[in-house]
Amino acid sequence: MWGDAWPRFSCVPWFHFRLASSAQGELVRKMKAESAPDVDVTKAVAELKARKKMLEAKELALQPKDDIVDRTKMEDTLKRRFFYDQAFAIYGGVSGLYDFGPVGCALKNNILQVWRQHFIQEEQILEIDCTMLTPESVLKTSGHVDKFADYMVKDVMNGECFRADHLLKAHLQKLMSDKKCTAEKKNEMEGVITQMDNYSQQELADLFVQYNVKSPSTGNDLTPPISFNLMFQTSIGPGGNMSGYLRPETAQGIFLNFKRLLEFNQGKLPFAAAQIGNSFRNEISPRSGLIRVREFTMAEIEHFVDPDEKVHSKFSNVADLEILLYSSKAQTSGQSAHIMRLGDAVEQGVINNSVLGYFIGRIYLYLIKVGVAKDKLRFRQHMDNEMAHYACDCWDAETKTSYGWIEIVGCADRSCYDLLCHARATRVPLVAERPLKELISLTWTSFEPNKGAIGKTYRKEAKLVMDFLAACDECYVTDQEKLLSENGEFTIEIDGTTFKLTKDMVNVKRFQKTLHVEDIVPNVIEPSFGIGRIMYSIFEHTFHIREGDEQRTLKP
């Protein structure tokens, strides 16, 4: 919906924006090279993003009129023929929830069936089907409980909620459109809008006070911005003590089953698992039809790969594809997206590795197959500052629609972030074994306890002692060995209790051990498909109004 924000630029030639964007890109690069303070870089980057948006809005505004779908007419057709419509309409409807009718449902099934054929079958991916209900502990680890949130403000009288950034932006735009608004004021507010994504909760609160923002519906005061988690919460079981959520993505189910899947694949890397299913996001104020909904179908692949071997054996199959790429570098230097041979993009390092490159090629082929228009599809690389902290490269498949360019598939290299997090939280090692090229021979040092003697002395607590001894590392064992030979005993402490161990209870043994494998945490390449958004793109790209005929036809 950002396209709505820039109507005032309609009389400015588009190349001004291109120049402005390019200059700002130079500035950012220079600042980074000179190690300018973080806060300045962030500000400059935000400014750059804003200029890019202006540029894109301008480019979209300049394109031939017949290329833009009459959205009202199209949506009217889609609803009249029951492709989809608002859910619970006879009860007044719930925003952000849609039901698919017979034609929409058939289309969705076809899209999913082609997906299964194109990915699961042809790539021999392991499909699994996990529950949507998810206990809190899992989503605490994944970071969703703490970070999956937007700021909102509430009308203090009637409790109506607004997304803080959207409301502040709209308010400032209204102020700026006032003829009495000075150029200086305008400039200041322009700056606030540019920085919108970077404000902290407190900064947002201050801005609401500074600009005296009230509820647009009632004029009432608003609460300060509060963080609103976008997950639907519920309680699992009758006790009320197991908090749970509806999953916000299907990926976590795959990470949690990593060990079983690796075993299913005979312990070998690389392999991929996938899941098709619904996810849920409790948007604060969903609009934009099928683009922003509270319940949606996703299809996600997690391709697990040895971090030192990010090479895809089948990459040559897609290397000759010519795809519209919009690299991070092109964006920061104010260039347009341009068509590139996929093989060249990987070779030149535009795309980080051939695994990522392979999936970009396969995603491209899939989208074309199901009906996305080739000339309205591009792959845009995330810029450094918009990438999730765990990702090392990320490309979004975007389609051009009446809402502007929208993301329909994400393709991220998530490195080893997820497996590591869950392994730390559960103490279950989520690793694969890699054969060592050269075997390693080690001298292994460990305690050799005398079970009988320890049992006789410590009875019920003997197991505690035995477990403790089994878990000691070489360094500790060697230290205690010294004490044992000097004093004939040493002590250990378990949960506050001290145990004395004497020579008759424990020895130290040394033996040679040859290692054939080492443990590695696989990296993950994640193509993630928003099925509803793909459907919406197909609707727009295939909608035609018969010339000179009020009757409208749609042919997906």
507 binds a second copy (CB under 8 A): no
With contact defined as beta carbons under 8 Å apart, do 247 and 280 qualify?
A: yes
Nearer to a second copy, 242 or 442 (CB): 242
With contact defined as beta carbons under 8 Å apart, do 294 and 284 qualify?
A: no
User: Using CA atoms, how far apart are residues 379 and 324, in angstroms rounded to an integer?
Assistant: 6
Q: Which residues of 55-75 are buried (b: 16+ CB within 10 A; e: fewer)?
A: bbbbbbeeeeeeeebeeeebb
The angle formed by the CA atoms of residues 308, 420 and 466, to the nearest 5 degrees, is 110
User: Using CA atoms, how far apart are residues 48 and 363, in angstroms rounded to an integer?
Assistant: 29
211 binds a second copy (CB under 8 A): no
417 binds a second copy (CB under 8 A): no
137 binds a second copy (CB under 8 A): yes
132 binds a second copy (CB under 8 A): yes
53 binds a second copy (CB under 8 A): no
Nearer to a second copy, 79 or 382 (CB): 79
Tell me the three-class secondary structure of 391-420, residue by residue.
CCEEEEEEEEECCEEEEEEEEEEEECHHHH
Nearer to a second copy, 98 or 366 (CB): 98
Nearer to a second copy, 105 or 176 (CB): 105
235 binds a second copy (CB under 8 A): yes
422 binds a second copy (CB under 8 A): yes
With contact defined as beta carbons under 8 Å apart, do 144 and 231 qualify?
A: yes
Nearer to a second copy, 101 or 404 (CB): 101
87 binds a second copy (CB under 8 A): yes
Applying CB under 8 A, among 238, 435, 496, 548 the residue interacting with a second copy is: 238
**Among 262, 243, 237, which residue's Cα sits nearest to residue 128?**
262
424 binds a second copy (CB under 8 A): no
User: Using CA atoms, how far apart are residues 491 and 33, in angstroms rounded to an integer?
Assistant: 56
Applying CB under 8 A, among 31, 175, 193, 236 the residue interacting with a second copy is: 236
19 Cβ neighbours under 8 A, 6+ residues apart: 334
268 binds a second copy (CB under 8 A): no
222 binds a second copy (CB under 8 A): no
Pairing of β 271-280 and β 126-127: parallel
364 binds a second copy (CB under 8 A): no
Give the ranges where 393-518 is alpha helix by DSSP (H): 417-426, 451-458, 462-470, 474-487
> In whole angstroms, how close is the CB of 392 to a second copy at the nearest point?
25
Applying CB under 8 A, among 152, 394, 409, 432 the residue interacting with a second copy is: 152
259 binds a second copy (CB under 8 A): yes
14 binds a second copy (CB under 8 A): no
470 binds a second copy (CB under 8 A): no
256 binds a second copy (CB under 8 A): yes
Provide the 3-class DSSP secondary structure of residue 24. Answer: helix
491 binds a second copy (CB under 8 A): no
228 binds a second copy (CB under 8 A): yes
Strand partners of residue 448: 507
Applying CB under 8 A, among 6, 17, 280, 499 the residue interacting with a second copy is: 280
User: Using CA atoms, how far apart are residues 336 and 341, in angstroms rounded to an integer?
Assistant: 16
Applying CB under 8 A, among 131, 218, 491, 497 the residue interacting with a second copy is: 131
156 binds a second copy (CB under 8 A): no
